[in-house]
Structure formats: structure tokens, C-alpha cells
Structure 1
């Protein structure tokens, strides 16, 4: 169900419910932080004032003239009196220096204010105000207090205190910009920044996995802690990660960030439980840190978690299905499939009365035996291996290879684990785009789609030509086209494929041979249209999900109903900001309703 939309150029303020102008400051900063105050810091809307704005005095002694408007004001209680004003958020699009000066000025004007934040959607500063000997002093702090929390208790978390994060992208953006401004110039490439934040994220995930429920977490940064000690603790935690997973991490994998950067990054995410978050956190981190680089180099775009979950739920793998993603990226499909299958393991364990130890052994066996992934980017493949290892193993099934090359070109280890015609399920979002065509003769000759095709007007059939499609200015085949065929090659007869494809595959007249090929070699089960915002802000390419079952050569498929859905919303807007409306998350439930009684859905 879609909520009522404001008039063009306006948005609904998250706190007050008023219709306000959709300025960049509001959309990219004020509204985002307003949601964080509710969802992460546990303040109520009654404690927060945005519209009408609260005004502070122009001078500390002048109570009559309150002329300076505060973007977000936070109060102790619901009275919203000035004496209860404890924190303010300024969301102006200014430089860090100007933002800091304005924040301090506003905090000076009200004696009750204890803390403040400057946030412009990309950078963030958290300040504590302390009065000492008649002077006002300001100190940067790792985070701001939750509702009812003392500032001095920030960073004092037990494992049970951590809460799942709904969306960490805004935090990652802030960390990314901080690192860019504070890392050594030689280390500020997107890859290096990504490596550092990924190392920290694995420390965080490892700490969550191996810390007792009532034990204090190691991944933390307190307000009054020595930054050198915090950095030392985090680096020692990373050594534990490397020792535990020494087949994934190497000796040269180290955290090179300075103490200030470590404390800042830890402070941004320490209160969250990443392993229980609603989104694929590693995927989100990559999307922020390296998506532009991968987009430019390889046409890769990371798949939103709700899209992944929808596809996995529809295909519904169980404990004995062989699963592969031939373009696994950061492992989103593999991790979500693993969660799905583990849920079935736990259900079965309850029926059989298994011990916790037996359940964990079965989970590890399933991950190791039935899950495979390939990616040609060595860094991405390594991250997926590490992610699988920390979450629950399966790392031995992830390889750095080019999925489109002849299987014989893959490493022996990869060939031992992955072969054509062996898989029950293929799930993937392949790289796509006309800017990265495949022209390699060795690759193209393996595929029917690597050849030219011609439409015979008499027979009204597409015919494969003997000539490879790699000559001339327009020569070469877009990778997603070859991936369709490679996915089918990987499947057993009766195996299922869930693949994200650009809309041109379904409607471009020149690509009719692909549609004809699919009709001959598969039984189409579902076609799901997702909105153009789905992969934004990284790309506006319109995509549709195809779910199909591989059939025998020459097998005729009886007439059957195909599930078709059009999603108008996807849980975020074109800027990537989260929104409550999400048709994508509703699709799998409708699919199973359709499967029970398809005639009810016929228009």
C-alpha cells in the first residue's frame, strides 16, 4: 500500500508530518538524521522538534530575541521547554569548518544543551559541551547518547545491548568522507578505503559472533577512552580474526588507520548488531566505498537485500540443493540463501530434538557442501570468502575466476567444486552494459549467444549463424547475455535460475533470439518488474527479474500460468534514502498465493 504523496517539490517531514520543501538539506540530511534519532537513538517524536523550528537566543543573556532556528532540537521530555533542551542537530550544507563554528555558536546560546551534531548527509561531527571554571569547552565524541543514556556511558556496550541496524549507508558515507579527508594521500583510493572499512567490519562481525550475550563487546570506543588504547584493542581484535581465518586473510592484511580514524569509524557503528541487520551490511559498505569503481571497470552493481530475499524466497532452496552464483560480488545471494537454508535446518532440528552442537555442525556441513560462488575480481572474491567464513563458513566454495571462460581454464580447486550441469539453483545479478562487451574468441565460441543471429522472415524463426559476434565497431556481446547461457549450462535439468537482467532483454526486437532460446530451453516461472530506483543512486538502468526452470533439449512445455508482478516501490528513493513503501518485499508472498490458485490471478 502506497502512502499519500506530497505535491511536486515537497516532502512530508518525518517528525512533524508537515509538508515542507524538498531542499537538498532536508532530503539528504535533516530527514535522514530525524529517522536515526527515532530508530537508532530511541527518542520519541514528542521529544524532537523540527517544524515549526525551535529558535535559540541571539546572545546568551537576551531571552527576548530568539532568532536562530535549529534544524532538529532534542528535549529531555515532551514539554519541549528550553530548560529541557539537551541536544541540537545542524544540517546545513556547509564545509566542516563552517559547520563546526555554527554548531558551537548555537550550543553557546542555551545553557542546558549538553551535546550537538553537525551533519550534512556526507560528514558528521559529534560534540560534547562542558563548562569548566566559567569557560565553555567542546570535545569531539564517538557518538551521541541514546534516550536516557549518559554521555559517559557511550561505548559501554554488552553484546545484548546491540540493536539491529535498518540502514547503515548513511553511516558508511560519513565514514568514507572522514577517511578520505584523514588518510594519507597515498592510501585514499576507493580500494584502500574499502579494505580498511571491510577489515573493521569483520572485526565487528567476529566480535558479535564470539562475545557472550552478557559480556562487554571488544569493538567499542568510549567517550573518555584513550584513542591509542581503542586503536590497540581493535587491531588486536583483527589479529584474532586473521588467526581464526588464516586461510582467507594474509599477513599483509593490516589495519593502517590512525587512532582518530579508528575511533571515528567504530563510534559510527559500535551500537549496532550487524549480524542481525535487515540489510546486507557488507554489500552496503561496498556500494558506498567501491561501487563507482566497479561500475566503471566491470559494470557491477550490488543487489539490494530486499530483491535478493525476494528471489531466494521464491526459489526456496532447501538443505540439499546445490547453489551457485557465477557473479557473486560480495556474496549477497549466497549469504541470504545460507540464512534461508539454515532456517530450514533449525526447523528440522526442532522436530528431531537435536542439540545446539548438532545444529551448528549441520549448518557448517550445509554451507561447506552446497554453496559455491565465483567472481573475477580478486578483492571482491576474497571479501566474499571472508564474509562466508565469519558468518558460518562455506568459504571453501568461493573462487576468483572468470565465469565466462572455458571451465578448463579455471583452477583445479575450482574445477573440483564447480562444473557444468551440477547445480539445482543458480542465483545471480551479472555485470551488464554495452560499454564492456566480450570480444574474446575463446569465450564467445563456447556460447550460442557468442555468435551472430538472424531472423528468418519466412520461417519466422531466429537462426544461429556460424560467425562469431566480435567483428566491427559494434562487435562483441554484452556480458549479461552470455551469463544467461552460462547459468543454464551450470544447471541440472529441472534446476532453477533466478537472474537480474536489464529490460532490453525482454523487449528489444534485436534480442528476440534470446527470448526464443529461453522459451526452448526453460519453463518460465516468474517475471518481476522492479522500479528504476531499485539500483539507484548507482545506476538508473531498468531491470526485471527472471525465474525459470531448465528443461530437457526438445522437451515441450504444456501451457502454464506465469507469475508476473510490477513493483512500483522498492524501499528507497532515487538517492538511496530509505522509504517505508516497499512492493518488492511483498512479492514472494503473492507468488506462493499464485502457485496455490493461479486462476484467481488471471486478469
Structure 2
């Protein structure tokens, strides 16, 4: 039966590379096993599907579309087996059973919401495998996804939906447009998660009947984005952004079909940051040494810094805002837990939370999440935080908010700097840029006297930037490779730190914390700014071997 079905599927237009039956597809046994598969770890299975079809030719789990079953002896057994497999495969949209004389199609509409069609015909390329719910979804009817689910959803959207859009071709533009739809979803979640709105029909959903669902849905989402853009233009968007969604109606519809069943802004706000960073890393960031800081690192790091409403905080390499979001969450929980205290939290966030990143998508995502969590978006800034000498001319908002026109270009105004800077052996700031920005740490690393600078690892340059941003007595929390403090190559570093920074604490970070992105042993270091060092001293270190 399998070979007959495969032959017919190929005749209908499916590509052979979209089909898999040798070997059969292993289906994870539990959600925990699903997460293990997402991390490329060994996992237990509940069975293997006779045949599967993918949305593209990647053969990847995020592209899984249809599961076929032929082994079950009758329609009831086939239905039960398909439901079991579909429940364990969050990305699969449809199951199909046949024994040659009877057939059954099952569409997965929600977590346990099935549409069963007996006597169904074989699926064809271009069929719409999504099924709208009978009633408009509410906050109480959608659910919080697991980390693996949300990561897979976003991978699927990028790899199989947005990438094939006929109107937007550049990868960066595709991700920007996808983010704009995600922003609409974030805003929708923020509004309908309020206690008074949890039973109201959500706006971010599928609209229309079968014959006009694509155009009606796209039309509604375009309206929602235009409204969101007009209200948040100066707080979230950048000057080059426009109020129109550029993706085609079909792409918008497909994205909404994937996202509407999930609470992507819920109690576990780190899920979105994690999932979004996962595909950004694979698409754009790994070559730039930027790696997601996992929540299991972020949360204890912020706790160790003991941030309060008396602090002014900045992350000069904020990425998708993990440290800033957690700082806001912890201050809210400790000092402003009551709803009537919300205004105090908003004021603190607006005045005292700052972030900088070169990536406009990360900046917009951070801004949107901060707004949804009680603001703080006002000072999430786009620009190059390292090349401070360019702030007066190229990054004027950085100059206006945290800098000045003359050297050292940076104002000492923060009590906490917390960051996970990009790192990598080959990721360095050139000597000429270090000289122009006045980074003394590069001069010390040269070990050749005044006026001599060397190309230096960007993480170490961030260490000096953090020192410059701080008031005396302020504290730095920074993720750095431990080799900086143990290798003979960096024997000059204690001399530079003397009179500037004093180590106040260190937390070990297990290597597997960054296993999805890199293999580097790092620690979270806490330093106190004790002074400015001997500015007149010449960095000289004996070349004598130990």
C-alpha cells in the first residue's frame, strides 16, 4: 500500500525529496523527547511513521507536514495511531490513513481539536492544511508552547513560508517583515492576557470562510499592523520602517496559521527570546559571535547583581533583551508587585533601563517585549556601542542619551552594566579602531609602551566600555571566556584591571549552556569599579618567560 501511495503522490506533484519512508520517521514519545530532538540529543520514540511529507526538501522536523499510516488494520485503529503521532509532532498539520479500500484524513486544528474526514482523497501540493476553529480563539483557549514547539514554529515560518514569499526576496527583509507580524501577535497577547479580556475573541486569528480566508486574514492583519505602527512608531520602529506589511497575502495567512494557537507572550517570556534567537543565530548571527544567553544563566546573574529601583542599568550588547527583561521582571516582583504600583515600575523602567545593539531586528523585538512587560523600550538604542568615537557623527542618539561629543565620548552615569558580549577567537576590534576610541586595554595588550595598540578580542573591549559607562562603585556583570583570566597570553590583563576593577564574584557557566550555538567555556564575572587606573602609566610588561 505504501508504494502505491508514493507513486500516486508523485503523480499529484509532490517532489520525491519531500517524501520520507526509508528509514521510517521516528516520532518522539514525550514533550521532553521532542526537546531532546530539537537539541540533537538521543530521544525515545513512541513509534515510526510509515511515510511522511515535508513542506520543503530539507527533511527537517520543523518542516514536517503530513504523516501517513498504513499498518493499522482498520479505520478506528488508524485514527488512534494518527492522533498519537500528531499529538507528538507539533508541526504536522495532517494525518492520512488508508488500507486501499477506505481512507481517513485528520487535520490538527489545536492541541486536541481534530477535524476528521472519512473517505478523504490524497493531499495535493498547494492544499491548505490549516483548519480554523469553530469559534474565534480567546486567551483562555490558546496555550503556552514548549520551548521546542515555539522554536520549531519559527524555524518553519522562516525556512518554508517567508523564504518563498514572492514579494520580499532578501533574507534580512524577510526576517524584518516576519518580525512585524510577530509584533502584532505580541501586542495582541499583551492586550488579551489582561484579566478583563481573557474570554474575548482575540484579534490575531484566521478570518473569513474557506473561499476568502486568505485575503480576509491578510487584510485584517495588515490593518492591525498599521494601527500598531501608528501608535508605537517612535517607541519601537526605526526611521526606515513603513506602516505596510510587504509580504504577500498567502505568506501573511500562513504565518498567522502557525502562530495563532500559541501564547507567545505569557508567563515564560524568555520562550520567545529563546526561539527567536535560535533561528537568528542559524541565519545571521553565529559568524558574528553573538550567542543567546540562556535563561538559566540570565536569571541567577541578575539575582547576583541584586538590581533594585535605585539602579540605572545598561546592556551594551543587548541582543533580544534577555538581561533587561529579567531585570525588569525581578524589580517588579521585589518592589512593585501590586497593580496599583505599576506606575512606579513604568517610571523606573523608562528612566533607568538602557540597551544597545547593532541589529535592528533584535532592537525592535526587545522594545516590543519591554513595552508588553511594562515599558522600558524608550532607551533600547540602535548603534555600534564599541566605536564610541563614531557616536557624535554616526550614532547621534547614543551621543545624546549616554555620551558626549568629546573624548572619552562616554558619560559615567550607570550603576550596573550587565552584558554577554560577542566572543570568538577571530572576532576582534582592530587596533586603529581601539586607538580612535581611546581604549587603553588595547594599549596594555600591546605591551610595547605608549602609542602602541593591537587588535583585541571584542569581549575585552566591552569590558573597558562597561568600565567607562559606570560610576565609581558601580558593578559589572559580564559573560567572558575564562581563558582571559588563566592563559599566559593575557598576562597583561591584571595590570590593566589594577586600580580600575575589583573582582567581587564569579559564577561558573557550564559549557552545555551555549551548546546550541558554540563550544566555549565561559563564566559570569562580577566586578566593582574602584577607579580609573593610572591614566598616565605606560603599559609595559616584561617579556621574560615565567
Provide the TM-score with structure 1 as the length reference: 0.66
Q: Distance in 1 between matches of 2:486 and 2:24?
A: 36
Equivalent pair of 2:427/2:458 in contact (CA under 8 Å): yes
Task: Work out which of the residue numbers 329, 344, 356 in structure 2 matches 1:374.
Answer: 356
Q: Quote the Cα distance in structure 1 between the aligned partners of 2:419 and 2:156.
A: 30
- 1:238 and 2:225 are equivalent in the alignment: yes
* Structure 1 position 317, deviation (Å): 1.0
Question: Contact 1:372–1:418 (CA<8 Å) still a contact in 2?
Answer: no
CA shift for structure 1 position 189: 4.4
C-alpha displacement of 1:70: 4.7
TM-superposed CA distance for 1:286, in Å, is 3.4
Q: CA deviation at 1:122?
A: 11
Q: Does 2:413 correspond to 1:422?
A: yes
Aligned-residue offset at 1:404: 1.8
Structure-2 change in CA distance of 1:279 and 1:513 (3 Å): farther
2:207 corresponds to 1:217: no
Report Cα offsets for 1:153-201 as digits up to 9, x if no partner: 47742123343334121222222222256323x7354423322332222
Cα distance in 1, alignment partners of residues 246 and 30 from structure 2: 30
Q: Secondary structure at the match of 2:428?
A: coil
Q: List runs of 5+ in structure 2 lacking aligned partners.
A: 1-22, 36-43, 118-130, 404-410, 535-546
Count of residue pairs brought into register by the alignment: 464
Mapped to 2, the partners of 1:434 and 1:522 lie a distance apart of: 24
Change (3 A) 1:109 1:174: farther
Q: How far apart are residue 389 of structure 1 and its match? A: 3.2
Cα distance in 2 for partners of 1:263, 1:200 equals: 10
Counterpart secondary structure, 1:286: helix
Q: Which residue is equivalent to 2:524? A: 545
Q: Does residue 387 of the first structure (1) align with residue 366 of the second (2)?
A: no
Deviation at 1:536, TM superposition (A): 2.4
Given that 1:530 and 1:542 are in contact with CA atoms closer than 8 Å, whether structure 2 keeps it comes out as yes
1:16 paired residue number: none
Matches within 5 A, 1:16-35: 30=28
Counterpart-to-counterpart distance in 1, 2:107 and 2:391: 54
**Structure 2 residue 488 is the aligned partner of structure 1 residue 497:** no
CA contact (8 A) 2:28 2:34 kept: no
Within the candidate set 164, 178, 189, 1:182 is matched to 164
1:164 and 1:272 in contact (8 A); partners too: yes
Instruction: Report the Cα distance in structure 1 between the residues aligned to 2:152 and 2:60, rounded to whole angstroms.
Output: 18
**Which among 216, 221, 230 is matched to residue 229 of structure 1?**
216
Greater displacement, 189-198 / 417-426: 189-198
* Contact 2:67–2:92 (Cα < 8 Å) also in 1: no
CA RMSD of aligned residues (A): 4.2
The answer to whether the aligner puts 1:444 opposite 2:409 as a matched pair is no
- The normalised TM-score by structure 2 is 0.72
Q: Structure 1 residues 361, 271: CA separation in 2 closer, same or farther (over 3 Å shift)?
A: same
Residue equivalent to 1:44: none
SS in 1 for 2:503: strand
Question: How big is the shift at 1:400?
Answer: 1.8
How many Å separate the matches in 2 of 1:102 and 1:480?
47
Measured after TM superposition, the shift of residue 102 of structure 1 is 5.8
| SS state at 1:415 partner | helix
User: For the structure 1 residues 189 and 110, does the alpha-carbon distance in structure 2 shift closer, same or farther, using more than 3 Å as the test?
Assistant: farther
The alignment partner of 2:206 has SS state of coil
Selected match of 2:380 from 371, 394, 398:
398
Out of 533, 546, 549, the residue aligned to residue 512 of structure 2 is: 533
Q: Which residue number in structure 2 is paired with residue 268 of structure 1? A: 258
Does residue 295 of structure 2 align to residue 308 of structure 1? no
Q: Which residue of 2 aligns with 1:160?
A: 140
CA separation of 1:491 and 1:152: change in aligned 2, threshold 3 A: closer
Q: Is 2:182 the partner of 1:201?
A: yes
- Partner of 2:336, secondary structure, is helix
